[in-house]
């Protein structure tokens, strides 16, 4: 599945037809990178490496307010070097969303914190090992789910949500929004919003159009406004199999970048698993010295 064929760099200003630093994102090829490490959990891990299974519905937060990092043994279990801990969530959120009016479109967050944000889209691959991995490592992610791709197993995502991860809107059936009329754009967003709200108990705050397509069009902005999400979120980097595809010419992460990945399995990853791909993603972030912060910790939701 070649989802997200394109992405776009945008500015915060709603409706701005922003700079289209188009990059091909999310094609199934494009694994341009580093050698694959063995990123399967070590068998016979010591008992001390056993994952904490106690995560309840409340977000896991460190005493300082940032997401709690998994312990060193947990990272070792997955053959990974721990990421730096994320700093405390900023008290003054860099992104402030309004309750009404045009929604902003952004692919990065303005922050000097040395953090990036990880988003995972669609929901096709439902690998139990990935739930184990995130339970162990406590890396925060934001999930943009497509209703018809997850509806056969909404339950898969609930343990991920219980770790404190938020679920957002990625349409009913992954339509290319600029190719469908405004009323269809509205139903793509509103019907997914209703289903995800019913299943996960909270209305999605954010929307991501498939392929990033149509993000800066008035029709899409209007449809988003009508359906409830309060921002359109794109990305700066797109994880492939072993490496990230960067929009920046220097192929480096920058503070506040939003990284796109997908729930994908061996069929779409040339035989690699979701946890192998995600381990590679974390390694690319670790190598560049970034922490992963929770995107929603940098966004002020509208007052109810």
Minimum separation from the CB atom of position 197 to Zn ion (A): 19
Site string for Zn ion, 168-207 (x = CB under 5 A): ----------------------------------------
Minimum gap (Å) between residue 2 Cβ and Zn ion: 10
Q: Give whichever of 173 and 183 is closer to Zn ion, judged by the CB atom.
A: 173
State the minimum distance, in angstroms, from the CB of residue 211 to Zn ion. Answer: 7
User: In this chain, which residue has its C-beta nearest to Zn ion?
Assistant: 3
Q: Is 6 in the site for Zn ion (CB under 5 A)?
A: no
Identify which range of 29-37, 101-109, 113-121, 238-246 contacts Zn ion by CB under 5 A.
113-121
Judged by beta carbon, residue 3 or residue 8, the one nearer Zn ion is: 3
- For residue 52, the minimal CB distance to Zn ion (Å) is 31
Size of the site for Zn ion (CB under 5 A): 4
Neighbour-count burial for 127-166, b at 16+ CB within 10 Å, e otherwise: beebbbbbbbbbbbbbbbbbbebbeeebebbebbbbbbbb
Question: Other C-beta atoms within 10 Å of 283: how many?
Answer: 20
Return the number of the residue (77 or 166) whose C-beta is nearest Zn ion. Answer: 166
**210 contributes a contact to Zn ion by CB under 5 A:** yes
Q: Which is nearer to Zn ion, 86 or 143 (CB)?
A: 143
- State yes or no: residue 122 binds Zn ion (CB under 5 A): yes
Report if residue 209 touches Zn ion, rule: CB under 5 A. no
Q: Does 121 bind Zn ion (CB under 5 A)?
A: yes
What span, in angstroms and rounded, lies between the C-alpha atoms of 187 and 178?
Answer: 14
Binding of residue 297 to Zn ion (CB under 5 A)? no
Cα–Cα distance measured from residue 107 to residue 20, given in angstroms and rounded to the nearest whole number: 12
* 64 within 8 A of 297, measured Cβ to Cβ: no
Give the residue with the Cβ less far from Zn ion, 204 or 210.
210
User: Least Å distance between CB 141 and Zn ion?
Assistant: 15
User: Of 137 and 160, which CB lies nearer to Zn ion in the complex structure?
Assistant: 160
**Closest distance of CB 209 from Zn ion, Å:** 9
The interface with Zn ion within residues 78-107 (CB under 5 A) comprises none
- Minimum distance from residue 9 beta carbon to Zn ion (Å): 18
CB 268 to Zn ion: min, Å: 12
125 binds Zn ion, rule: CB under 5 A: no
Chain positions contacting Zn ion, by CB under 5 A: 3, 121-122, 210
């Amino acid at each position: 599945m070649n989802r997200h064929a394109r992405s776009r760099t945008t500015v915060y200003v709603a409706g701005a037809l922003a700079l289209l630093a188009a990059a091909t994102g999310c094609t199934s090829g494009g694994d341009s990178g580093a050698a694959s490490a063995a990123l399967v959990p070590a068998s016979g891990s010591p008992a001390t490496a056993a994952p904490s299974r106690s995560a309840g519905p409340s977000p896991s937060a460190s005493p300082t307010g940032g997401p709690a990092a998994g312990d060193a043994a947990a990272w070792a279990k997955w053959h990974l070097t721990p990421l730096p801990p994320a700093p405390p969530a900023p008290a003054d959120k860099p992104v402030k969303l309004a309750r009404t009016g045009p929604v902003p479109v952004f692919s990065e967050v303005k922050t000097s914190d040395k953090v990036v944000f990880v988003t995972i889209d669609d929901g096709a691959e439902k690998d139990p090992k990935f739930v184990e991995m995130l339970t162990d490592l406590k890396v925060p992610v934001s999930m943009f789910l497509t209703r018809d791709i997850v509806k056969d197993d909404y339950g898969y995502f609930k343990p991920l949500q219980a770790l404190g991860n938020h679920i957002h809107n990625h349409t009913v059936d992954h339509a290319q929004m600029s190719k469908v009329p405004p009323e269809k754009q509205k139903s793509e967003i509103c019907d997914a919003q209703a289903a995800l709200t019913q299943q996960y108990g909270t209305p999605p705050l954010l929307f991501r159009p498939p392929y990033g397509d149509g993000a800066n069009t008035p029709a899409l902005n209007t449809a988003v406004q009508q359906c409830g999400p309060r921002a359109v979120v794109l990305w700066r980097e797109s994880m492939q199999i072993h490496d990230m595809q960067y929009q920046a010419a220097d192929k480096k992460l920058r503070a506040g970048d939003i990284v796109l990945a997908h729930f994908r399995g061996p069929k779409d990853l040339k035989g690699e698993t979701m946890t192998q791909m995600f381990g590679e993603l974390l390694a690319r972030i670790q190598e560049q010295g970034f922490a992963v912060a929770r995107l929603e910790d940098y966004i002020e939701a509208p007052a109810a």
